[in-house]
């Protein structure tokens, strides 16, 4: 259960980090392929956008780390379902 919540938090953080990445003036947000490669695939004048690609990648990583941390903490806060424990029956004395 703890691993699942951590992974879910990581994935949610990834999506949030991707959606909140900085936008390039007049162009908007960079595509995922450019962000994930940190702008190494940019050619010509597009190389001016490498700084934005790196910043966007950092937002992505920060979102993943924060999401995983929140998921990990939630795993400890949320009680895990326990199997029905039967009370041992003692013979009457």
pLDDT of residue 65: 93
pLDDT of residue 30: 85
Query: What backbone torsions phi and psi does residue 67 show, to the nearest 5 degrees?
Result: -65, -40
What angle do helix axes 2-19 and 50-77 make, rounded to 10 degrees? 150
Neighbours of 55 (CB within 10 A): 17
Cα(57)–Cα(40) distance, rounded to whole angstroms? 12
Does the pTM exceed 0.85?
no
Of the candidates 35, 87, 34, 85, the residue with the CA atom closest to the CA atom of residue 56? 35
| pLDDT per position as a tens digit, 17-60 | 888 888 888 888 888 888 889 888 888 888 888 889 999 999 99
pLDDT of residue 84: 52
So where are the chain's domains? 2-77
The token duo for 44 is 């010509």
| pLDDT per position as a tens digit, 1-25 | 678 888 888 899 989 988 888 888 8
Torsion of CA 72, 76, 77, 82, to 10 degrees: 130
Question: 87: pLDDT confidence band, cut at 50, 70 and 90?
Answer: low
């Amino acid at each position: 259960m703890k691993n699942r919540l951590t992974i879910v938090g990581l994935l949610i953080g990834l999506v949030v980090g991707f959606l909140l990445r900085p936008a390039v003036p007049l162009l908007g947000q960079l595509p995922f392929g450019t962000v994930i490669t940190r702008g190494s695939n940019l050619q010509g004048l597009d190389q001016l956008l490498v700084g934005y690609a790196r910043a966007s990648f950092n937002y992505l990583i920060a979102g993943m780390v924060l999401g995983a941390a929140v998921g990990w903490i939630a795993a400890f806060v949320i009680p895990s379902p326990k199997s029905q424990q039967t009370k041992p029956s003692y013979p009457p004395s």
